[in-house]
Structures are given as structure tokens and as C-alpha cells.
Amino acid sequence: MSGRSNEAPETGPFYPRDRLWHPPALTPAYKTTVLRSPQRAPISFSNTMSEMTGPVFGPNIIGELDNDLIHNFAKPGESAQGPRIIVHGRVLDERGRPVPGVLIEFWQANAAGRYRHKKDGYLAPLDPNFGGCGRALSGEDGSYAFRTIKPGAYPWPNGVNDWRPAHIHFAIFGSGFAQRLITQMYFEGDPLIKLDPMTGGLSDRRAVEQLIAPLDMARTIPMDATAYKFDIVLRGRRSTMFENRLEGN
């Protein structure tokens, strides 16, 4: 199933989530949060099996073109329009250890900033050869990579003139349900980032920087595609004998 049969599975509880590192539920500059943010404190409890376990996906669910958004929706012989890029990185935990076998799903607007979704009414054109979704499974060293086109920035109805910086959405599974995470990757040098109410919800500038992928010339393909590096850090879990202590002992 997980491809790690020679390794004992980790079974310990996760480190508590540093909720101050994440955006708070209510970030009024992002108006939709006003009516969708819980107002009472979340209740904390020690992880049980329900939080420490999570679904596992094997390589059998990954199709040949799942990590190639340039071609996975294109007609035969055609390809999506826009600047060709490679996005790559590693999935690590808070201890810096690679997390293998993690399913990563990603979605994005096309090069013009338009999503293939009926709720998106932006006047920019759809690309008939671009669907905008893909997925990958992290390898033994936690690495993943996919090929796509660089998404365009787009306006959104929040303020009268708000624009989202170019970004790719990521949804990541870990080894436990408590690690489940959705985030967005931004691109180095984008001047829209500092105007963005969504990254603006992060109180620590270093947290914003953690979401910005640098141009990575070492991974570009000459005359073909540039590359951006985006490492993902999931919650770490206790795993040594000293740390696995039954509650109350």
C-alpha cells in the first residue's frame, strides 16, 4: 500500500499545530471569512487513532499524465498555452524528515488567469487544452514534481480592484488525518503578493515567504521550461520509545 514495507510505520501523535503560524479563521480583509469563521475557540485533545491514522493512496491511482497539466486535458498532439514550468520540491515533516507516499493534488487557473469552473466569470479566455488539475505521489525521498504552465493573476470580487497573485493550489495528505492541509504556492518576485488579502492573513512575514517558490535554474530544462521549487512541510509526529507515552501514565 504505502511502499514503505521495510520500515516500521510511525504511530505516534502529531506535534500540536502552531495555529498562530496559520492565518486566523477571521481575516476581515478577505471578506468571505467574516461569516464563515468559527467564533469560539477550537477544543484541543490528545491525538487518538482517529487523528493519527489517515487514508493511504498507492501508485495505482496515479495516471501517466497526472503530473503533466500541459497535456492531461489537451487534445492529442496539442498542448496547453502559456509559459512552461516545472514545479518540484519535497514533502518533509517538522523534523525535516522526508514523507514518502503522500498524495498531492493541485489545481490552478490557466495562463490567462481563468479557471475551468462555471463559477469563474472572468472575461479572460479558457484554453481548450487546459483543465487545470493534477496530482502526484511523493517518492521515497519525499520528492515530487509536475509540469504545467505558469498560471495568470486574476481579479476577484472582494474589494473593487483586488487581484490574486499567480498561484497554484495544493491539497496534501500526510500519514494521518490530522496532517491534512490545503495551501497555495506563489511565485518569486510577484508584486501582487504584498497586496493580497489571503497571504495578508499570515501575521509572520516568514510564513508568507514559506509559500513563495523561488526560480530554480538548476531544474530548468533548457529551451523548454523554467522551474520553481516548493517544499511542503507537514506536521511532525513523535516516534521514539521515550515519546510514545500513554496519556495519564
Partner 1 sequence: MPQALDTLKETPSQTAGPYVHIGLMPNFVGIHGAHAEDLGGRMLNDKAKGQRIAIEGHVFDGTGEPLRDCVIEIWQADAAGLYPSPSETRGTADPNFAGWGRAAADPQSGLYRFETIKPGRVPFPDGRLQGPHVSLWIVARGINLGLNTRMYFSDEAEANAADPILLRIEHRTRVPTLIGTRTGDSYRFDIHLQGPDETVFFDI
The residues assigned a catalytic role are 115, 154, 164, 167, 169
Q: Interacting stretch for partner 1, rule CB under 8 A, among 56-64, 78-86, 187-195, 216-224?
A: 56-64
Three-class SS state of 208: helix
Q: Does 118 bind partner 1 (CB under 8 A)?
A: yes
As a whole number of angstroms, the distance between CA 217 and CA 134 comes to 23
Specify the stretch interacting with partner 1 by CB under 8 A; choose among 79-87, 128-136, 138-146, 216-224: 128-136
Angle at alpha carbon of residue 136, lines to 135 and 139, rounded to 5°: 170
Pattern 185-224, binding to partner 1, x per CB under 8 A?
-------------xx-xx---xxx-xx-------------
Q: Which of 80-88, 143-151, 172-180, 216-224 is the region at the interface with partner 1 (rule: CB under 8 A)?
A: 172-180
Does position 107 bind partner 1 by CB under 8 A?
Answer: yes
Counting contacts by CB under 8 A, is residue 166 touching partner 1? no
Nearer to partner 1, 116 or 219 (CB): 116
Alpha-carbon span 237 to 49, nearest angstrom: 13
φ, ψ dihedrals at 178, nearest 5°: -70, -10
User: Which is closer to partner 1, CB of 17 or CB of 219?
Assistant: 17
3-state secondary structure of 77: coil
136 counts as binding partner 1 under rule CB under 8 A: no
Question: Is the separation of the CB atoms in 18 and 247 below 8 Å?
Answer: no
Using the rule CB under 8 A, is 59 a contact of partner 1?
no
Q: What is the footprint of partner 1 within residues 69-98 (CB under 8 A)?
A: 72-73, 92-96
178: closest CA among 45, 9, 61?
Answer: 45
Place of cell 486566523: 24
DSSP state of 151: P
Nearer to partner 1, 50 or 83 (CB): 50
53 and 177 in contact (C-beta within 8 Å)? Answer: yes
**For partner 1, the closer CB: 11 or 81:** 11
Window 34 to 53, contacts with partner 1 (CB under 8 A): 34-40, 42-53
Count the Cβ atoms, other than its own, within 10 Å of residue 27: 18
